[in-house]
Structure 1
């Protein structure tokens, strides 16, 4: 699928700001799932922003505003062709930093109910099969927990339901166990299709083989 993109961003700097530097992360990169045909970033009143690859492997730009202006206007245009890989991205180009995506954070602590089953999983071999099994087990555990909470809530009051898990809860549970198995994993946010003028992000977990 070929996608034409046109994006405008206006950043309010406030009155009396003599200069400002904006770190811009608005540049996609060609990979196994997409090919960037054209891409251009324009900052009003400035020459082309300086580009570099940051520590996370992202192509970034720095735009310097050296005059006292009330806002910084950025325009992005480009064409990207996507390729269907059924969710399997494969190895990414460049220099990934897998250690960043193996860390334990407050939101990605391994869930004991899921970790117990996969604790002795082999660290080599069919990782895709392991990740699919892990994803299914996370769903089963959280769905059962949600159903139990709902039943408890109904027994206490018919007018109050139990707590429900959000997409981010499933993503964090999956990521936590994947990282405990030394598989780099992270959360990605994608804008949902627009419905009645509203677009809400959706949460997904991505893991590396």
Structure 2
């Protein structure tokens, strides 16, 4: 399936910025599930300082900001050929060793609820247990935008019983690690069946399974990623894979607007 993606991000400030840095992870790479045909990222109001692969193998750019203008725009767009590989993205790659993905992070630190959920994965083969976990998380955390934010931990979302794809991915990764699987967070895009316009990118989790490599599980939708998905970046949690992150020095107040379309 050929997917066309447009991801527009606009920051507006009420006064000049003294200094700022932004890190962009907006470049998908070709792999078993996708072939990147065209891709570009346009930036207005900031300067690209350096390009590098981070420890997880993500194509990363560092931008600097100072003074005028009061608006920064980042537009990522392109076309990607995708295919359904049942969520299997293949062997481990990148500078980070596989064992690093067995370590918890502040957003995925398990509490009593996550430990109980992981203990209930039951017996069976690796894939059977992981699919059982995915189904249980989907049942336990209703998809309700606005009930959590980027600071919400997986434990908090599970106790609340509501959240978004970020929360589903954090809970899945935390439980999988407790069960002995290296696990990671994946950011990317999903072509939805009922709408083209979106206000946020998508996220899911992957667990490393012996004999298969990394296998994806989208607990928000209860499936393994198929040809409707475009993967962009990975990390141990949202903070390590988020599309745009940064810091500002000064008193400027920020307003953020995000507009995404994913279509054939």
Question: 2:183 maps to which residue?
Answer: 185
Aligned residues: 184
Partner of 2:146: none
Alpha-carbon deviation of 1:53?
0.9
- Aligned partners of 2:46, 2:172: CA distance in 1, in Å? 44
Counterparts of 1:11 and 1:200, CA distance in 2: 15
Unaligned runs of 5+ in 2: 142-159, 210-264
Residue 124 of structure 1: aligned partner:
none
Q: Of 132, 135, 145, which aligns to 1:136?
A: 132
- Whether the 8 Å contact between 1:111 and 1:173 is mirrored in structure 2 is no
Match of 2:239 in 1: none
Which one has the bigger helix percentage?
A: 1
Q: Give 1 or 2: higher strand fraction.
A: 2
Higher relative contact order (CA 8 A, sep 6+): 2
Q: Is the 8 A contact 2:55 2:94 kept in 1?
A: no
RMSD between superposed Cα atoms in Å: 3.9
Q: Which secondary structure state, in structure 2, belongs to the residue aligned with residue 85 of structure 1?
A: coil
Deviation at 1:207, TM superposition (A): 0.4
Instruction: Say which SS state the counterpart of residue 179 (structure 1) adopts.
Output: helix
Q: Could you list the runs of 5+ residues in structure 1 that have no partner in the other structure?
A: 122-128, 147-162
Check whether the contact 2:48–2:64 (CA below 8 A) recurs between aligned residues: no
Correspondence list, 1:1-209, <5 A: 1-44=1-44, 50-105=50-105, 107-109=108-110, 111-112=115-116, 114-115=118-119, 129-136=125-132, 139=135, 174-188=172-186, 193=192, 194-195=194-195, 204-209=204-209
CA distance in 2, matches of 1:172, 1:78: 28
Larger of the two Rg values belongs to structure: 1
